[in-house]
A and B are shown apart, each in its own frame.
Chain A
Amino acid sequence: MSARTTHRLSAGLAAIGLLLIPTACTGNAGSGGGGGDTLYVGTVNPPASFNPINQSDVGGQFAVRFAMDTLLDQPEPLKFVPKLADSIESKDNKTFTVKLHAGAKWSDGQPITAKDVVYTINLIANRDSLTTLGGNVTALTGVDATGKLPKGQAAVPGLTAPDDTTVVFTTKTPVDPNYVKEMIGTKVVIMPEHVLAKSTPAQIDDSKFAQLPDVTSGPYKFTKYTQNASIEYAANPDYYGGAPKIGKLIMKIMPASNLAGELQTGSIMMNSGGGIGNIPFQDLKTVKAFKDVNTKVNPTIGFQTIQFNVKTFADPRLRAGLAHAINRKQIVDELLLGNGEVIDGPYTSQSPFLDKNLKTLSYDPVLAKKLLTEAGWDFSRKINFVVPTGNKIRERSADILLQNFKAIGLNVVQTNYDFPTTLAKARAKDHDMVLMGLTFNIDPDVSNMYSSTGSFNLTGYNSPESDKLLLAGKSAAKPEARHQIYNQLQALWQADMPVLTLYSDHAVAATNKSVAVGGATAFWPGTVANVGQWAFEGAN
């Protein structure tokens, strides 16, 4: 390199610098702000999959629901509105009749018929199909406890399509119609038989359709997915619910810490609901101060727990003692900045089944120590406390828990693992206490976690009384009877204390004022219930 070259390089650099500044200024910095024909939604968790019947996370369910419809929608807990179905009715709570909306079409112009509904349910129940919806169809006749048909059988007995707009199915025992409406009506996304019938059930999860459905039933159509970066949609002008008012919809996937900044610049006009687009609470004050953004803090149905291994802590007094040692108010005040609630049991204030008369356990270290001593706990014994990483607030809550346990003289050793490792350890009961976050349905059945045979029973809790009541609650068809059973269960679980709910964190919904209709709602399935009607201010 000669001196001249060096000089030339420097001059070149200066030129590049000069070139960049004006381009930068004219660059589309506040891209997408205000009005227009494109709505930008900020979200944090990318969808794990687009297969409508194989969704392990809310990220995928949320993304799919903009483009694919279910039979019903549930905008608020236990309030059901028609979608692909006008109604799901039953006279005896055992035989259910679905009446479909006449004239609904797939995005390729084919009619959506009762045959598609029958195909979808049979596909879910097929032993070879990969699906996360098995648990939603366990009530049907002829399927086992995982919602699957016997090997070699392809049709759910009693599931028929008498005509193009009617579907009939039966349940093994009478069930609460709300259970059917929620679990089948609002969760089972109807699949297009004419597109998928050429694949075997085992092939569908690998099919092109499952990577990004190209024949859809909802108000929007998928146009492009850039993995973990963005999901793009275009309006479906032939939507049976009326053509959407906003032409394009783009979901931008970003770290939670970017949401506030993007809302400020107008690069996104709302965050997504369902716990997948949560604005960190430390940013809440900033977001509330934005002049053109409406902010609301809503309760959720999700909650965080500490699960006690009942083999280690066999005496219920030990579990109660541990529960009394925990300062849950401190967690809500310091980590959630007050944006959360303390509850006992699996029902948050959003659930119609929460027994509001049940008093939550107090924070009482003296009582805690007394209970543990009475039950003969050896305070030098090492307690293996497993904490999953991934949820920052949960990780920090472990610090408070550790201090609380140390304060009463317990010897707790904390180990952090990533989520799959934690789950493997918890399933193998290789822990004394483990932290775990959960979100169930509005339907109060939580047998998965509390039943002695539940697939998510991580505590080893085995109470014949609880098992009996859970079964009774599941098969009780009358809502009042169910309320009574679940109240009894909440009292029983509080006394037995296999699982302590630490807190239920609220969610921040922020929506730009240019959006007249739309945005995250308190109950996330409500967010996607009226996507077809979303509109900007000033639109007709």
Chain B
Amino acid sequence: MVTYLIRRILIGIPVLLGVTLINFLIINLAPGSPADLYLSPTATPEDVARTETALGLDKPVFVQYLNWLTQLLHGNLGVSFQNREPVTQLIADRIGPTLLLMGTSLVIAYLVAIPIGIFAARRRNTAADYGVVGASFLGISVPHFFLGLAMIYVFALTLGWFPTGGMVTLGRGGGFADRVSHLVLPVVVLATGVAAGMVRYVRSSMIDAFGQDYIRTAKAKGLGASVITNKHALRNALIPVVTVIGIDLSALIGGAIVTEQIFQWPGIGLLTIQSIGARDYAVLMGINLIAAIAVFAANLLTDIAYAVVDPRVAYA
């Protein structure tokens, strides 16, 4: 297992480097200079040149990439073009809110989706099953921005139960209740999407499992329905579900761009979209790297989780 992990991590390093290189090239392929964004439209070419030098944009692209890599080896992701804050600091400030939002959403989504998926599979082709499948379709189809705006309209503007956005009430310190009330609407929006998809995975995976010979054997042995479901079927059905959870996990770090923007949640997703708008290459590279590492780590965790849920899987 340990050798397996070491091997995977060693393979991961060139992959991550490749990802950063491709990102760097794509970002730099965009025409126009970020310096233009940081100067008034009437700036002279000398002003533009002075700003490009200050941002290090006057050097050839590969030199810029090498400089970035050198900085990276020193644990430094550079400074934001926009306000010269260190990128590591910016990401560190944003990662907490994103983890809180995504973590809460995922946990709630799984807690809702897994029991419902099992329930629907056990009552396959009944009215209850059709209801669950229909609702999950609706959940998948409703775009986040629409659900988010509708929730803001109903629960924030009309009923006044929750705030329209943000993470805490600014200037009021923000106690626990304040934080929770800010968390509710975005979590509901995100959890709806994740749960809707997860219900369908769990349901179909369970239906597959119910059709297996070992279930027939278990039934023939005279085992009770709940033992068959939870001991025999669920454990096998969870294997494909673990893959889906792994994919979801990588979003923990990447954040939810649309939802964070609608609710002005100060997380990585909002930072990403704002940095794209501002052509803040340094911040974008930092976020890309962190997101790539998150995907890599999530994949690794998924593989390890396989071994836990499926004893047939062994690593060497």
Q: Which residues of A contact B (CB under 8 A)?
A: 1-3, 5-6, 9-10, 12-13, 16, 20, 23-32, 38, 40, 46-50, 54-57, 130, 132, 134-135, 145-146, 148, 202, 205-206, 210-211, 226-230, 232, 248, 250, 252-255, 258, 261-262, 264-265, 267, 390, 417-425, 436, 438, 448-449, 455-456
Contact = CB atoms under 8 A, between A and B. Distances in A.
A448 B45 CA distance: 12
Nearest to B45: A455
B163 A456 contact: no
A211 B229 CA distance: 59
A6 B230 contact: yes
Of the listed residues B41, B46, B82, B231, the one surrounded by the most CB atoms of chain A closer than 10 A to its CB is: B41
B234 A1 contact: yes
Given A56-B39, A424-B31, A425-B31, A261 B152 contact: yes
Nearest to A230: B170
Given A6-B118, A227-B90, A258-B264, A30 B160 contact: yes
B50 interface: yes
A258 B166 CA distance: 12
A134 B163 CA distance: 44
Given A148-B46, A254-B165, A422-B32, A56 B37 contact: yes
Nearest to A49: B83
Interface stretch (B1-9, B20-28, B177-185): B177-185
Contact of B266 (A54, A210, A229, A420): A229
6 contacts: A20-B184, A56-B43, A226-B266, A227-B271, A264-B157, A420-B34
Interface stretch (B66-74, B108-116, B300-308): B108-116
A28 B42 contact: no
A252 B85 CA distance: 20
Which secondary structure characterizes the binding site on chain A? Answer: mixed
Interface string B167-179: 0011110000110
Contact of A130 (B50, B111, B114, B152): B50
Of the listed residues A9, A29, A422, the one surrounded by the most CB atoms of chain B closer than 10 A to its CB is: A29
A261 B165 CA distance: 10
Given A20-B180, A56-B40, A254-B264, A424 B161 contact: no
B47 A132 contact: yes
Interface residues of B, number: 69
Of the listed residues B30, B39, B274, the one surrounded by the most CB atoms of chain A closer than 10 A to its CB is: B39
A32 to B, nearest CB: 7
Contacts of B153: 261
Nearest to B274: A228
B292 interface: no
Given A2-B230, A24-B184, A423-B41, A227 B83 contact: yes
A258 B44 contact: no
B164 interface: yes
B278 interface: yes
Contacts of A57: 40
A26 B161 CA distance: 8
Interface string B51-67: 10010000000000000
B170 A24 contact: no
Given A3-B226, A32-B171, A27 B164 contact: no
For the complex of A and B, 3 pairs with smallest distance between CB atoms: A27-B181, A420-B32, A424-B32
Interface in B87-115: 90, 93, 108, 111-112, 114-115
